[in-house]
Amino acid sequence: MTNYLKLAFAFLVAIASISNLPQEPSEKKQDQDDTIVIPADDTGAASRRDFMRTKLMYSQKIFEGLTTGNFDSIERSIQEIQNITLGEQWVAIDNDHYRKLTEDFKTTTKRLMEAAKTKNLDATALRYYNMSTSCIDCHNHIRQARYEF
Ligand code: HEC
């Protein structure tokens, strides 16, 4: 029971964090001189946001799989998230901090996959929680640094 509560909490925090992403470009500024914000490709910034947004869909799918005990679906969704981090559009910002946050995120998704393969629900739930905090950390950094996308 407590694990489900923790999960529900992690999930709500993730949603709250994401919906708070800054929307007004005019309010953004950059805080690090060595930061390069990689321009979105020809298909534009909206396309990159859509690409990034699929992370949310797959993390919700993992949550669904945890509640229904569907480990096949969990593994498929983790794989999708791992593919997203390999995509060209992932590299939105080129600086050490973003690279470190990306590495942390990849580590948490890798551990989540390892846990899912053991089909241990509690271990997988814990690793899902760890991945969620990694999403929140990066998004919190993005908000605080106020990058111009
Ligand atoms: C290492 C950094 C990083 C991590 C980790 C990360 N994201 Fe993102 N996310 C971004 C960036 C950069 C964008 C694109 C922002 C833009 O182009 O405006 C983005 C965009 C998004 C968007 C679209 C936001 C919008 O304004 O439409 C959602 C939703 C999202 N991410 C969810 C997640 C979820 C869920 C996770 C964890 C499973 C996650 N992100 C992990 C960096 C990250």
The pair of three-digit structure tokens given for residue 137, joined into one six-digit string: 């950390």
- 35-45, pLDDT tens digit by residue? 777 666 656 67
Question: Count of CB atoms within 10 A of residue 55's CB?
Answer: 20
Give residue 18 CA to ligand 1 midpoint distance, Å.
7
The Cα 59–Cα 148 span in angstroms is 26
The pair of three-digit structure tokens given for residue 17, joined into one six-digit string: 């964090």
Q: Each residue's pLDDT tens digit in the chain (149 positions)? A: 566 656 555 555 555 555 545 444 433 444 455 677 766 665 667 777 888 889 999 999 999 999 999 999 999 999 999 999 887 778 778 889 999 999 999 999 999 999 999 999 999 999 999 999 999 999 999 999 888 77
Where does ligand 1 bind, in terms of residues with CB under 6 Å?
14, 18, 21, 45, 48-49, 52-53, 55-56, 59, 81, 92, 98, 101-102, 105, 131, 134-135, 138-139, 142, 149
Collapsing DSSP states into helix, strand and coil, what is residue 112?
A: helix
Residue of minimum CA distance from atom 32 in ligand 1: 56
The model's pTM is 0.78
E strand residue ranges, 17-139: 36-37, 93-94
Instruction: Give the domains, in start order, of the chain with CATH numbers.
Output: 2-15+34-145 (1.20.120.10)
